[in-house]
Structure 1
Amino acid sequence: MWAARKMGILYTGFAGTSPHFGDQAFSPQGLWSFERTSPLEGSWQCLNGSTDGWFTSQPRPYQGQADSGHGYGFFLGGISSPRRGPRYAPSLTSWPVGNSTRDQRKTGVFVMYDMPNRKITDLANFGPSGRGAPNNAGIVYVPNWGDRGILVAVGGSQDRREGNDGLATFQTVRIYDVDTQRWYEQQSTGDIPEPRKDFCMAGSPSNSRTHEILVYAGWAGQLGPSAVPYDSAYVLTLPGFYWAKADYSPAHPRHGLSCNAVGGSQILTIGGVDTTQDGNDSYAAGFTTRDPFLQGLAIFDLGTLAWSSAYRAERSLQPAAPKFKEYYNAQ
């Protein structure tokens, strides 16, 4: 989803495919909005007749990441879906007939949607180092720097020739300046996460004029006991580009989850697939165990670099974690 916070509107429908299992329900291609009309009610609206024609003329992308801020929605990475087979929604725009449908998919998707003006900028195949945007990477919008903020992108998979399922190093942090529409790369230090994909990522400012970003869970493409170490949480602090790892013993790895900033330096994690489960049906095996988090929800505190026992409503921004204070004081 994209959120237009000042307008009180959510947008969806711009990415995704039908499920791999179940009744393979799908929604027609396009863009929808949900606007809250009262604290307890809201209404849906299909915007296909009033917004940019890109949403219905171009194949709908998937396996990318979305975020929003400053009146813009962003979608980075992933590939565009061909109209092929029951795995994909039949309403998706088809690709031209050729020798290989898979080879014709557009990769490195990167689009920016101007919400007030309902215009989209298709920046496909633009990306750091000129290689295009990675798949299954993490992105987060950070308003602190630049006239219109920046996007921070890490991880994901891009080139299998690099080994380890083509997973990108977290030592390189990719920065997109929304105002100049230019990519930059910055080397990071500290406890750098192991390469992974399908992790979750969200950030929040501190009251110390820094911005901390959580990277949690994910996997390297292998199911089973070897995935347990990916039950780990790392936090990147900006502007220092310094990583710190949360201190806890891994036990319950997961991938395909979401992270959401919910105020007061708190990050809410939701759901995920149990990466330790390996069975005949690789899509469904991860759903056979009970989530150790109550209702599949957990709160990570960026101020303490630790999991919290409860969510605190209306909590103010917290100071940067002591480990980050030590780092900045030493510079």
Structure 2
Amino acid sequence: MFPARLASLFGFVLIAIPAAVQGVRLDVPRVEDFVRRWNVAATVIGDYVYIDGGEINQFENGTIDEAPVYQVNSTLSIDISTSWTTSDVSIRTIGKPNAPRNAPMIWTDKEGTGGFYSWGGVFSLGRSVTGSEMWKFSADGRGGGSWSLFQDFANPEAFKILLSPERGAYANTDDKGFLIGGSVWGWTQLGFTDTQAIPGMVSFDMRTKEISNGTANDAGSNRSPFETLIGARAHFIPANTGTKSHQGLILVLGGHRSYVDRQVSLEDSPGFDFRNLSFFDPETGERYWQIATGDIPPYPRAHFCVTGFAVAGVGYDVFIFGGRNEAQQSHYDDAYILSLPGFVWTLFPTPPAGPRFFQSVFTIIFTMNPH
């Protein structure tokens, strides 16, 4: 049932794409020089996919570059209104003034021509580390855009005390962004040596520009569904897709429960299972738990990718792929779909690409030509 339905409704895009552009040690190398791209964040705005952050491996003069990775210094965009393959896709590079980071968190703002906010992540190769900074990318509606340091918070003092996170679970509604948990260390923010878990949840109102910091014990809409959470993923499920919420719900999957009073070690931190599902209402902060059935994905699982899509007249399906088992130092190559409101997991045919983690995946809705 699932393969036929998926093929008729949408396409998945997993970001690890080479491109036919001449040159070596570039953000977009030639197809024959491309090895892998990872630690990226990506979003869809209008007819374009925007890809930010990450590192790349590539061949140089027929051999693998001696450096283990090469930082990506540009933001990339791909036109998804036209047909292409991974061998002939045209990838545009957009310059950026801020230092490259791996796996930054992004909140997508679709007002006007659109854009996104970027915060946190790991400074590539531990270089040019700064304090906590949020950057804004403003799209131009034609696959381009520009970066600026965002400082227009309604409550700037609240942002100044926040630590610059990595490995947090983030998602956003149409007007609010959320970041749950994460960790901080010497390659994410100045002044740190050991890796420390960040408790609670940060929310950002993209209309009022107010940022809020809550903890698990706070009352109100900004309380976190978890005390600590590292390596998990979050996904916004819109209203009218099988949930009882009029505002939609945010689903939180996977990751690890860590500690705030000691050095973080995910190998020794309990993992969250995929049977007891956690949701929260982005408007009220009310939390929900639901037991799922079916092909429960194995865990602990961190750094996997997640996307979802509405199924007309039925509900909503959530797709996950890959990830890493920190306890066993191994990687996953499996894919699952969680069907709502039935809360049933189904093992999806395994993609042929092999194990992946620190990738981005998203859904592209398209209309099929019956001819």
The two structures have a TM-score, normalised by structure 1, of: 0.65
1:174-189 aligned at under 5 Å gives the runs 174-189=278-293
The equivalent residue for 1:17 is: 122
Contact persistence 2:333–2:350 (CA under 8 A): no
The answer to whether structure 1 residue 242 and structure 2 residue 333 are counterparts is no
Deviation at 1:189, TM superposition (A): 0.4
- Quick one: structure 1 residues 159 and 59, their matched pair in 2 at CA, closer, same or farther if it must change by over 3 Å? closer
Q: 1:149 aligns with which of 248, 264, 273?
A: 248
The equivalent residue for 2:232 is: 137
Choose between structure 1 and 2 for higher RCO, CA contacts under 8 A separated by at least 6 residues.
2
Q: Which amino acid aligns with 1:158?
A: R
The answer to whether structure 1 residue 197 and structure 2 residue 299 are counterparts is no
The equivalent residue for 2:179 is: 75
- Quick one: structure 1 residues 165 and 40, their matched pair in 2 at CA, closer, same or farther if it must change by over 3 Å? closer
1:141-290 aligned at under 5 Å gives the runs 141-144=236-239, 145=243, 146-159=245-258, 165-195=269-299, 196-221=301-326, 227=330, 230-248=332-350, 252-263=354-365
Contact persistence 2:136–2:148 (CA under 8 A): yes
Per-residue CA deviations over 1:67-121 (Å, capped at 9, x if unaligned) read: 2122111112212x25xx4x3443xxx58xxxxx759x45334111110100122
- CA distance in 2 between partners of 1:102 and 1:121 (Å): 26
The answer to whether structure 1 residue 122 and structure 2 residue 213 are counterparts is yes
Contact persistence 2:230–2:258 (CA under 8 A): no
Q: 2:136 aligns with which of 20, 23, 33?
A: 33
Deviation at 1:165, TM superposition (A): 4.5
What's the C-alpha RMSD, in Å, of the aligned pairs? 3.0
- Quick one: structure 1 residues 163 and 24, their matched pair in 2 at CA, closer, same or farther if it must change by over 3 Å? closer
Per-residue CA deviations over 1:29-66 (Å, capped at 9, x if unaligned) read: 32222222341432222221445423333211211122
The two structures have a TM-score, normalised by structure 2, of: 0.59
The answer to whether structure 1 residue 44 and structure 2 residue 147 are counterparts is yes
Per-residue CA deviations over 1:173-223 (Å, capped at 9, x if unaligned) read: 100011221211111000000011111111111113311001110121267
Higher normalized strand content (fraction of residues) = 2
Question: Identity of aligned pairs, percent?
Answer: 23
Contact persistence 1:108–1:135 (CA under 8 A): no
Contact persistence 1:70–1:149 (CA under 8 A): no
Q: Which runs of 4+ in 1 moved over 6 A?
A: 160-164
Contact persistence 1:156–1:197 (CA under 8 A): yes
* Corresponding residue SS for 2:178: strand
Count of aligned pairs = 246
- Quick one: structure 1 residues 223 and 132, their matched pair in 2 at CA, closer, same or farther if it must change by over 3 Å? closer
Contact persistence 2:308–2:317 (CA under 8 A): yes
Q: Which amino acid aligns with 2:134?
A: L
Runs (5+) with no aligned partner, structure 2: 1-105, 217-222, 260-264
